[in-house]
Structure 1
Amino acid sequence: MSNGGDGGAHQGGGNRNGSGKGDEGRLVGGRYRLTERIGSGGMGTVWRAQDELVEREVAVKQPRLPGDPRDAAHQRIAHRLHREARAAARVDHPSAVSVHDVVVEDGLPWIVMELVRGESLHEVLQRGALKPAESARIGLAVVGALRAAHSVGIVHRDVKPANVLLGRHGRVVLTDFGIAHIMGEESLTMSGEFVGSLEFIAPERMAGRGAGPPSDLWSLGVLLYAAVEGWSPFRRTTVESTLAAILAAEPVKPQQAGPLGPLLVRMLAKNPAERPDVDEVTAALEAVAKGWPLPKAPERAELTTAQEPSGTKEFADDSGTVRLKAEGVTPESASAAASGPETVVPGASVPEAAVPKPSPETRATSLPAAKPPRRRRPLRLVLAVLAGAVVLVAVGMLVQGASVETGGEDAAVAAEEARGTSDAEPTPEPEPTLDNWLAHEEKDLKAVLALPRQYVRFHEQGDAVDQPRMALYDNDEAIQVRLTLWDKAPRSPLGQAKEAAEIWSGYGESTTRYTDTTVDGYEAVQADTAYETEGRLVRVMQVEILTDDARLYELRVDMPKGTPDEKRGMDVFKGARDRLEIDRS
């Protein structure tokens, strides 16, 4: 049984990452009795509930937001949840999930939706690919819901198999409008920020040009390709190479799409103007679903036989939603590295995703003299994984080096001058002082990480099976902190640092300096990397720590080089490194 998207529900499942059973039996809004937790994600828990007023079962999304309610980031996410309900309620179509009610509890909106009994397309595809006619039938329902959304000015922005529910009697439901953009409404996010699932994000969104109806049709094209072929056309082994594939590479020509093939080729055109519109897509899908002759469509060059995804048929490409902050990402800015997937559950519009796997060996090249600094935000790939009990999480999970994850973020640094931003430097924020740091106990990582108070923990990932374990923090600025643990070190501290350096060298000119050191009494290697991408400089500070029982920790801070943020980032790195406490038990 599923309901909604990134909040994650599966038959008999749910996961251990949401609210506990303490809320079971709670009466919400005076009428909705919570009876069973059916899924959870980073921003909420989805409950099966009984509407005691009309005596019917419903799904209720209980929001869970990080940070202090007074913080701007907290308020922005709360506003996004309100908008999810408003957006979804405006879409009137049998294949769009119905929102019945919004109840304010604990100062946050609890969203009451129809309960869809069935499973997600993501779960179905884990058992194997679908026939073209069945894929077309599902696509026809989804494109109908998208047409209804577009007609009221809403772009879904997160069309993916985990957000497509297959209910009883052949019903298909598109859910989770939680990151939908209401065209014409002022953006809630900061300049260049967007949310979505990496492998389903259209290239124009990657390039910072915003989302429109053609972006949803691109995502639907990726979904249909994955449905008939059994794997995502843009799946690679790291985030960076996934970005590169989306922006510049042609996917492998579909082999099992049959009559859907020509439509998929056109839907995956890099230029939005070259894609078919919703009417053309509808007509073609209807023809394939019903076995009719295909309508004629404009000719376009066939897809090349490009790089085959890394030899895997499992469909975990849908297991993660990604938030990227950037402006002006170009094909040239993405490096040929790799990708990670994501997993979804019902009704919680929450970022999730997979983490990349680094490439071998390092080469350090000289870095040109820094250019005069401007205020820039690096492309920050924020990955958050839902721990779904049934869905495979993070197929592209970093197994041999977590230092790649922000490769996507660093792969293309924000080009603010293209937006006409001012060259003036902002007033730097006060440096962190010793008395405004907080200790964060990371029980699963067996460590205590201290950071300045403004840093918010927004993502955790991994377990004993899915290595590495990871916790990420940021303060909604240009600096990101992560602590990563491998229960068994994949290589030496120096070897691990060199694995990461190879990633940075893929962007362009780079240099890395290695220093032997100790952290909390353990052997360690510190790596200081600077690399250039599109004429901008990025600095990555990381320290690899090997414990006596062969665990490997990595503390990493990413920052823009040559800006006031670099000084703050170095202060954060040094303070976090010197305060890090590793459990010796």
Structure 2
Amino acid sequence: MNPVSIPADFEIGPWRLLRLRGWGAYGVVYQVEHAGLEGPFALKLAIHAWDPRFEREGELLTRLRHPHVPRLQAQGQWTPPGGKVFPYLVMEWVEGVTLYEWAAAHPLTSRQALRLLAQVARALEATHAVQGVHRDVKGGNVLVRSDASVVLMDFGSGHYRGAPKLTHHMPPPGTAQYRSPESLRFQWEWRHDATAHYEAQPADDVYALGMTAYRLVTGRYPPSASRIEEGPEGARLIQTELIPPGEWATACPELEALIRQMVSLDPSRRGSAAEVARALERAARKAGRPADVPITSGPSRARNSKETRMGALRLGGWRLSGLAAALAVLLATGVWWTVEGVPSMAVQSFQEDAATGLADEALSSVEDGGAPAREPGGMGLDMPRKPFPGQSRPPCEKSEAEINGGCWGRLSDVAPPCGARSYEWNRGCYLPVLEPPRPATSAPR
């Protein structure tokens, strides 16, 4: 029996399944009930047998007792016919919608945003206090209840001091658009060692909260502030501060200042989760009348489109080429060694010709002003009419979608409006599946 297709009324231990809530790369969530206990509850069942992430997530949740973190009720294992063992966690049922969905359905004001974000910061404060990190903070992992209280969900990527290391390859757990500059810098500096391990810090969670706030307020992700520059001494990674959210939206000054603080290039300037929470709460109390005006967003008012589309990939007279060009495209599209949730999209290395072709196509679209148009209020790229050079062609894997002659992987935890690095198609967000490199036909010399 497949963990993602268990019928209603089926029992896993003492828990009776009521309905399917959803699933991701590693787990499926069912609404369940237990005789004698006031429910309902959420049962998160592993998709992969013996998945050690569940033990780690359970231990982290055991350490947490906080109103903005789901309460762990029980842990167990399910053994269907066949002998495989699937761990599961049972937590309180949180009825709500994601933060971004909530904002889309309400005329969001800066004061409301400050209050919502402060609650997430308090959840992070509690997590960091027990020497843990969430590692996947984003609007899709924040549920807003009907009373506007929030709960930070999905600690499956979480980690705590002393926990066993489960990720033995790049990139670290999390979602591409929310990774901190120091995480990207580590990946660049250790790009030749696929086993290098990035140790996430509380500052990474604060940055992700800032990126969540940025998208909440502006309705978009900012253009990438990381780029590859190739010069006489080779390629190097250049990182700059993000475009201020005030160029896209009319947030109050207090909220904009705090967002800019949280996404600072310097981790020491972001503040701890506790400091950020206090600052957000203080701003929510003391901000003036502009904080009660609904936030409006639109195109950037201060940057030309060529500069903001992909972070100015051509700099100082040096045209990116070869590996540097390929890495530039990876930075611009959010694809690195792997894309979590789309296992077939591993891009551990590139053929020089395919990578250069893909990079040149992306670069020429920027230089010619021909980048795909975006939907109003969103950042998702339009699906290209033909595959990219180096992209997988049909027949595609079962987990992939065939679109316009190419194979694409759908981002399971992202819904339109898509980010600046993914493509929108049929109400979903997609990234291209790239062909793995061909094995060498001769021994190295």
Same fold (TM over 0.5): yes
Matches within 5 A, 1:60-139: 60-65=43-48, 78-106=51-79, 107-127=85-105, 130-139=108-117
Q: Distance in 1 between matches of 2:65 and 2:15?
A: 24
- Measured against aligned partners, the alpha-carbon deviations of 1:486-543 in whole angstroms (never above 9, x if no partner) come to x9xxxxxxxxxxxx9xxxxxxxxxxxxxxxxxxxxxxxxxxxxxxxxxxxxxxxxxxx
* Structure 1 unpaired stretches of 5+: 1-16, 70-74, 294-303, 312-329, 342-349, 365-392, 407-444, 450-456, 473-486, 488-499, 501-553, 560-564, 571-585
Aligned length: 342
Cα distance, 1:116–1:352 mapped onto 2, change above 3 Å: farther
Cα 1:361/1:83, change in 2 over 3 Å = closer
C-alpha distance after superposition, 1:35-82 (max 9, x if no partner): 1112122322211111223142111112212xxx6xxxxx5xx11122
Listed one character per residue, the Cα deviations across residues 218-245 of structure 1 (whole Å, up to 9, x for unaligned) are 0101111111111112469xx989xx9x
User: How far, CA to CA, are the matches of 1:448 and 1:305 in structure 2?
Assistant: 40
Contact 1:403 1:556 in 2 (8 A): no
Contact 1:202/1:215 (<8 A) preserved? yes
Q: 1:555 to 1:223 in 2, by over 3 A?
A: closer
Does the 8 A contact of 2:57 with 2:159 survive in 1?
no
Mapped contact 1:43–1:63 kept (Cα < 8 A): yes
Matched, 1:257 2:251: yes
Out of 35, 38, 53, the residue aligned to residue 52 of structure 1 is: 35
In structure 2, distance between residues paired with 1:463 and 1:354: 14
The Cα of 1:354 is off from its aligned counterpart by: 12
SS at match of 1:207: helix
The match for 2:282 among 284, 287, 293 is: 287
SS at 2:147's partner residue?
A: helix
Pick closer, same or farther for the CA change 1:199–1:555 going to 2, 3 Å: closer
* 1:222 to 2:211 alignment: yes
What is the deviation of 1:336?
8.3
TM-score normalised by L of structure 1: 0.50
C-alpha separation in 2, matches of 1:394 and 1:118: 25
After superposition, the CA RMSD in angstroms is 4.5
Q: Distance in 1 between matches of 2:138 and 2:245?
A: 18
- Asked whether the equivalents of residues 61 and 111 of structure 1 are also in contact (C-alpha less than 8 Å), the reply is yes
Using the alignment, how far apart are the partners of 1:210 and 1:306 within structure 2? 37
- 1:248 is matched with which residue: 239, 249, 255? 239
Q: In structure 1, how many angstroms separate the alpha carbons of the residues matched to 2:395 and 2:327? A: 36
Q: Report how far residue 95 of structure 1 moved.
A: 0.5
Q: Which of the pair is proportionally richer in helix?
A: 2
Q: Which residue of 1 aligns with 2:408?
A: 470
Distance 1:331 1:283 in 2: 43
Give matches, 1:155-554, under 5 Å: 155-190=133-168, 192-208=170-186, 209-234=198-223, 248-255=239-246, 256-258=250-252, 259-292=254-287, 305=303, 310=309, 334-335=328-329, 338-339=332-333, 351=341, 361=361, 395-396=380-381, 399=384, 400-402=386-388, 447=395, 460-462=399-401, 468-470=406-408
| Aligned residues of 2:99 and 2:144 also touching (Cα < 8 A) | yes
In the alignment, structure 1 residue 145 sits paired with structure 2 residue 139: no
Residue 4 of structure 2 corresponds to 19
Q: Cα gap change, 1:446/1:100 in structure 2, threshold over 3 Å: closer, same or farther?
A: same
- For 1:200, the aligned partner's letter is Y
Shift in Å at residue 447 of structure 1?
A: 3.5
Hey, what's the Cα distance between the residues in 1 that align with 2:258 and 2:28?
A: 37
- Change in Cα spacing, 1:334 to 1:183, as seen in structure 2 (3 Å) is farther
Q: Which amino acid aligns with 1:280?
A: E
AA in 2 matched with 1:62? L
1:398 and 1:467 in contact (8 A); partners too: no
My pick for the range that moved more, 249-258 or 395-404, is: 395-404
| Partner Cα distance (2:441, 2:64) in 1 | 47
TM-score when normalising by structure 2 = 0.64
Change (3 A) 1:309 1:226: farther
Change (3 A) 1:337 1:109: closer
Report sequence identity in percent.
25
CA displacement at 1:401 relative to structure 2:
3.0
> 2:17 matched to which residue of 1?
34
- TM-superposed CA distance for 1:265, in Å, is 1.5
CA distance in 2, matches of 1:222, 1:292: 21
The 3-state SS of whatever aligns with 1:262 is helix
Given that 1:45 and 1:62 are in contact with CA atoms closer than 8 Å, whether structure 2 keeps it comes out as yes
Q: Distance in 1 between matches of 2:77 and 2:443?
A: 38
8 A Cα contact 1:235 1:339, kept in partner: no
Measured in 2, the distance between the counterparts of 1:136 and 1:332 equals: 39
C-alpha distance in 1, partners of 2:442/2:35?
54
Structure with higher strand content = 1
Q: Secondary structure at the match of 1:148?
A: helix
Cα distance between partner residues in 2 of 1:54 and 1:165: 23
- C-alpha separation in 2, matches of 1:568 and 1:183: 45
